[in-house]
Structure 1
Amino acid sequence: MVFDRAILSKIDSELENYVEKDTNLYNASKHLLFAGGKRIRPYLSVLTYLLKRDDISEVLAPAISVELIHNYTLIHDDIMDNDDERRGKPTVHIVYGEPTAILAGDLLYAKAFEALSNIGDSKKALEVLKVLSKACVEVCEGQTDDMEFENEFPTLEEYLSMISKKTGALIVAPIEIGAIMAECSSEEREALYNYAKRIGMTFQIQDDVLDLIGDQKTIGKPVGSDILEGKKTIIVIHAIENLPNDKKERLLQILGNKNASKEEIAEAIVILSDSIEYVKDIMKNATNEAKECLKIFDSERRKNLEKVADFIIERIH
């Protein structure tokens, strides 16, 4: 585990402050929030802040605002996708019903902005507000693009644009927030933005890879579920653009076939093997570039951010 447990404990304590009521609505909002998420987003905020500062108390509230937004999106995603399970647990709408789940998500969204109101410096608060609201807009745009891709094949460029919004926006935002709170210079903020864009991309691509070659118990869903659902991931897009016609046709027969057998899913994964290796190279290069972006910071202080970049492409869930 590359994460500092003391920091994670402070992040969890801060989160609990915003959802401590014991009512059906609050319990629904906590159902996923404390179901074993990695806390990578608030953790990135804190690590960015620690590049320049030592006492993290000032950054905790804005850091957890992104985690609250992230969990809001997960609750609503599960409703839109009719998913029954996440992180090995029944989804919020399965346990509490759709109306309560929608409200639980909305509550987390509102609590994120309540957290921002607790930033002591009004100038920093306004800057953080702009960053977070922009990220929320981009997540909605990215999710819409993803849904539209169900009916068409995106290009590699269109796919990367989509994940930079749907997934990347909530990786970039916490790093920008940490930089604002630590009063980083414009040069430092640009370096951090470039780092964040790269690890945001690798985060989603690794999810795409894990769906095909991960372990069902650790990823919390059946291996190959993206194939059953017909998702046009970067792996599939690359394969369609590069496979010989016979393999391409066979892949398209299996992709999106809800009745595909385990053997057919395994066959599709074999067909995709070269494309899996291709995206692993993309992730490796992007990770090296991300760490290069951090070179303007003190070597000791940047170590944990470098470790996170490596963790993202080495993680198993």
Structure 2
Amino acid sequence: MLFDVEILKKIDEELKKYVDKNDELYNASKHLLFAGGKRLRPYLTVITYNLKKDNMEEILPAAAAVELIHNYTLIHDDIMDNDDERRGKPTVHVVYGEPIAILAGDLLYAKAFEAVSNIKDSKKAHDVLKILSKACVEVCEGQAMDMKFENYNPTMEEYLEMIRKKTGALLEASVEIGAIMADCSEEEKTALKEYAKRIGLTFQIQDDVLDLIGDKNKIGKPVGSDIREGKKTIIVIHALKTLDEEKKRRLLEILGNKNIGEEEIKEAIEILKPSIEYAKELMKIKTEEAKNYLKIFDEERRKVLEDLADFIISRIH
């Protein structure tokens, strides 16, 4: 099994310490936190740390900090995108209203830094704080870029920069924090950062692919919602660059039209098929590159990070 149940259990126990109150604000903050997320980011922090060390108690506050930040971004994302559903459940603002949802996100953000303050080694806590705050800045910058793309067609370079920030920054931070806590050398830290950059990219591309060809019940939202919203994904950008004029014109007619039905979404997905294949090939290349950067580590210990890179492009939600 890819995800070690014991590690996941310990991460959950650690997270509960920070939201252990029973009132509306805390219940709102827990709504998504314990709604069946993959725990990919804190898990990455722990397994990166495990490349060199095995003291779970040392790494858990740092892993919790990463997950608390991630869930804060999800709550605010859902408000900005006006999404009604995540992980198959109504979103926080739908259940508790926008004001409480904003506060619940802010609470998780603050609790992340409380978690960092629980790291025993103050030098490591300081270094983790720097990485985490930088990631928060980049996530905000990436989200702003994504919103800007609604009004024009970005280049491939602009899109890749956006996902490196919006999706990749926190995945990179998860790995970097594990490396700091494990006393990795500079060479090892650089290799891990390159690994994380690539899995951050493949994670977002796989999300884009799943939106078009995934299972609604598995991904927790309607298939093709990116088409309806007019999202400029890597698939759309590639299509607009490579399609003939007739298909391009038709795609642009459908893209971003909130009133389109199932038939038009199917038609758009059909037009996008060659670009979906392009995205899948790119993910394979980036996954192999990511795994190559791990070769400087012990073969047995790095295997779980290699398997995780494969999991990211084969996951179904």
Give the TM-score normalised by structure 2: 0.99
Letter of the 2:19 counterpart: V
* Equivalent pair of 1:32/1:92 in contact (CA under 8 Å): yes
Partner of 1:14: 14
Deviation at 1:56, TM superposition (A): 1.6
Root-mean-square deviation over aligned CA pairs:
0.5
Other-structure match for 2:215: 215
Equivalent position SS for 1:168: helix
Equivalent residue for 1:79? 79
Q: Which amino acid is the alignment partner of residue 228 of structure 1?
A: R
Structure 2 counterpart of 1:56: 56
Query: Can you give the 5+ residue segments of structure 1 that lack an aligned partner in the other structure?
Result: none
Please state whether the residue corresponding to 2:120 is helix, strand or coil. coil
Amino acid at match of 1:20: D
Q: Kindly report which structure 2 residues correspond to 1:181-196, keeping only aligned pairs within 5 A, or say none.
A: 181-196=181-196
Structure 1 residue 71: Cα displacement: 0.4
In structure 1, distance between residues paired with 2:84 and 2:42: 26
Instruction: Report the CA distance between 1:57 and its aligned residue.
Output: 1.2
4+ residue runs over 4 A deviation = none
Q: Give the distance between the partners of 2:122 and 2:220, measured in 1 at CA.
A: 41
Q: Which amino acid aligns with 1:15?
A: L
The size of the alignment, in residue pairs, is 317
For 1:134-145, list aligned pairs within 5 A: 134-145=134-145
| Residue pair 1:49, 1:56 contacting (<8 A) in 2 also | no
Q: Is the 8 A contact 1:66 1:170 kept in 2?
A: yes
Question: What one-letter code is carried by the residue in structure 2 that aligns with 1:150?
Answer: E
Deviation of 1:291 after TM superposition, in Å, equals 0.4
Q: Distance in 2 between matches of 1:174 and 1:82?
A: 27
**Which amino acid in structure 1 is aligned with residue 114 of structure 2?**
E
* Residue 65, structure 1, aligned to residue 69, structure 2: no
- Residue 155 of structure 2 corresponds to 155
Q: How far has the Cα of 1:2 moved from its partner?
A: 1.3
The corresponding residue for 2:249 is 249
Q: Aligned residue for 1:281?
A: 281
**Cα separation, 1, equivalents of 2:56 and 2:6:** 11
Q: What do residues 129-158 of structure 1 show as CA deviations (whole Å, max 9, x unaligned)?
A: 000000000000000000000001000000
Distance 2:102 2:38 in 1: 23
Residues 194 and 290 of structure 1 are in contact (CA less than 8 Å); yes or no, is this contact kept in structure 2?
yes
Identical pairs, percent: 74
Aligned partner of 1:268 in structure 2 is 268
Is the CA contact (8 Å cut-off) linking 1:75 and 1:101 kept in structure 2?
A: yes
In structure 2, stretches of 5+ residues that fail to align are none
